[in-house]
A = this chain, B = another copy of it.
Amino acid sequence: MIQASICTIGDEILIGQIVDTNSSRIASALEGIGVRVTRMVSFGDDRKEILECLEEELRRNDIVVVTGGLGPTKDDITKSALAELSGSRMYVENSGQLGIIENILKSRGLDMLDINRAQAYVPDTCSVIPNRLGTAPVMVFRFGEEQYGHQCSLYSLPGVPFEAEGAIPDVLDDIKGHFRLEDIYHRSIMTFGIAESALSKKIADWEDSLPRDMHLAYLPNPLTGVRLRLSVYGGTREEESARIDRKFAELRQILGEAVYAGYDTTLQEVIGRMLKEKGRTVSAAESCTGGMISQLLASVPGASEYYLGSVTSYANSVKENVLGVPAETIEKNGAVSSECVARMAEGVRKLTGSDYSIATSGIAGPGGGSEDKPVGLVWVGVSSASGTRTCKFMFKGDRIRNMERFASSALNVLREKIMSDSNEEL
């Protein structure tokens, strides 16, 4: 099986100032074409370290994908290290990339600087895949058996996540042209509302019944719940797909409503698909989630077909004056209460004219909790023509994590509401 290593170069990663998202995207793409990623390594902007680490990864792997260290500024030395690694004696101008750089600068109304032009110069030992989204081209270096004991390729990609992602399809094409690939097949089933350990107990017998070549992984995420992923190496895709279908059908029997999709997706995508099918619309009234539910709903391409909008009523005055929550409701029950989220959900549905609505009010922390209503408490309300439903949840996390759990739990209540309305209609 073809093996790859993904390397990230940059002090900014090592001191923790930025999170490396490139490696994850590249890994996902490589897995998709049947390349097994064995390691990911990050190391610093230091020539000796770059050379040592890359040589080690080239010895261990068929493919090494490197990101970062190609910026126009002075702290980047990857290119000259790659020139040394490949025995290059001179840089050559790549006219394709130079043209792209000219166009990018022109569209931004900027002059061509020397440091921009320098990005179109590459070691004469590499071939170039032009980067249409940025100024640094993708460089491809090939090494033979005499160097690392086997044929291997090194791809150097820009570190800017948007540009790295844009370069992936061309890199995959190049890999397909140079290596004989085997299939890896992954499929996911999405669950929400059952903790990882409870889930594991619930499906223990099923898990024990899995054939040896199927590997199960639990992938918990506060926004999407626990994703269960089955992986199979080798075989034909059609065959594996049918086998996984059978195992997933058993799993749905065991887990029931906790399964919200049999493929890799999100609650907001599933909600969007249901609303589009039924020609219904949704709106949101948020307090503690601060716009996160709106952002999640709006992040789905095409959301404008069913998502009308939202009110973030952070202040009680906005709950009262914009959403029409009676002042007495808040006085009597507090803003974090079943009554308040019910009125918020009904208010935003009326205000926007949507078929469905979703509302949250809770305490994300770190401050603001009481014994009665501690940090981590959230009330969720959903409303439609069939009525308004509220429920509460309790979580333990920091501010952002609580917001995420609040938002995803609310989306799941909305999903259940849409499904139960559909069942009643039948």
- Residue ranges of A at the interface with B (Cβ–Cβ < 8 Å): 8, 11-21, 23-31, 37-44, 49, 53, 71-75, 107-108, 110, 113, 115-116, 133, 135, 160, 162, 165, 186, 188, 195-201, 207, 215-221, 227, 229, 231, 281, 283-284, 286, 290-295, 297-299, 301-304, 307-315, 317-318, 321-322, 351-353, 366-368, 396-401, 403
Contact, CB under 8 Å: A41 / B44: no
Query: Which residue of chain B is the closest to A28 with respect to CB atoms?
Result: B16
Contact, CB under 8 Å: B317 / A322: no
Report Cα–Cα, A219/B159, bound state, in Å: 11
Given A196-B73, A308-B314, A401-B162; A19-B21 close (CB under 8 Å): yes
Chain B residues, Cβ within 8 Å of A309:
311-315, 318, 322
A-B contacts, 27 listed (Cβ < 8 Å): A12-B219, A13-B27, A14-B38, A14-B40, A15-B231, A16-B27, A16-B29, A16-B30, A17-B28, A39-B53, A40-B41, A40-B42, A40-B43, A71-B196, A72-B200, A107-B396, A113-B198, A115-B197, A286-B294, A290-B295, A291-B293, A291-B294, A294-B312, A298-B403, A304-B368, A317-B352, A322-B351
**Candidates B18, B229, B231, B400; contact of A219 at CB < 8 Å:** B18
Chain B residues, Cβ within 8 Å of A21:
19
A107 vs chain B, min Cβ distance (A): 8
Chain B residues, Cβ within 8 Å of A49:
38
A355 vs chain B, min Cβ distance (A): 13
Given A24-B13, A28-B16, A207-B74; A399-B299 close (CB under 8 Å): yes
Chain B residues, Cβ within 8 Å of A313:
309
**Candidates B37, B39, B71, B314; contact of A41 at CB < 8 Å:** B39
Contact, CB under 8 Å: A314 / B307: yes
Q: Is the interface of A mostly helix, strand, loop or mixed?
A: mixed
Chain B residues, Cβ within 8 Å of A29:
16
Contact, CB under 8 Å: A367 / B16: no
Report Cα–Cα, A231/B110, bound state, in Å: 30
Chain B residues, Cβ within 8 Å of A28:
15-17
Contact, CB under 8 Å: B37 / A15: yes
> Which of A221, A352, A367 lies at the interface centre, i.e. has the most chain B CB atoms within 10 A of its CB?
A352
Chain B residues, Cβ within 8 Å of A24:
13, 16-20
Report Cα–Cα, A368/B304, bound state, in Å: 10
Contact, CB under 8 Å: A73 / B17: no
Report Cα–Cα, A160/B404, bound state, in Å: 14
Report Cα–Cα, A186/B16, bound state, in Å: 12
**Candidates B31, B44, B197, B400; contact of A38 at CB < 8 Å:** B44
Report Cα–Cα, A396/B390, bound state, in Å: 42
Chain B residues, Cβ within 8 Å of A8:
40
Report Cα–Cα, A7/B407, bound state, in Å: 31
Chain B residues, Cβ within 8 Å of A11:
215, 217, 231
Chain B residues, Cβ within 8 Å of A116:
197
Given A44-B38, A310-B312; A290-B299 close (CB under 8 Å): yes
Contact, CB under 8 Å: A322 / B311: yes
8 tightest Cβ-Cβ pairs between the two chains A and B? A290-B298, A291-B294, A16-B28, A16-B27, A291-B291, A291-B295, A309-B318, A40-B42
Query: Which residue of chain B is the closest to A26 with respect to CB atoms?
Result: B16
